[in-house]
Amino acid sequence: MPKIVIKKDGAKEDFIKEKIIVSAVKSGADIHIARKVADKIDKHPHEEIKTSEIRKNVLDELKLHNPDIPKRWLSYDKNVKRLYRHMY
């Protein structure tokens, strides 16, 4: 189970599975599917995981349930990151 997420810039933060659930639901996934996807990532065997690996796995899993959800995830992710950059 991952404890640490390695961000794109090399920074590290705690793994919070709820972030995956919230993002998936806001992208249109059913809560049960979102939890299933997050649980799968949570079972990752290593202590650390890169955000790029999380993203790829989440998108692959969501695509299995509905091919439109990954597109909405990417749009949501992009907009949230843009908003975050302007806030800080």
Give pLDDT tens digits for 69-88.
Answer: 888 877 877 777 665 555 44
DSSP lists the bridge partners of residue 49 as: 5
Total number of domains in the chain: 1
**Which residues form the domain of 37?**
4-87
The 10s digit of each residue's pLDDT in 17-56 is 999 999 889 888 999 999 999 999 999 999 999 999 998 9
Q: Can you spell out the DSSP letters for 1-52?
A: ---EEE-TTS-EEE--HHHHHHHHHHTT--HHHHHHHHHHHHT-SSSEEEHH
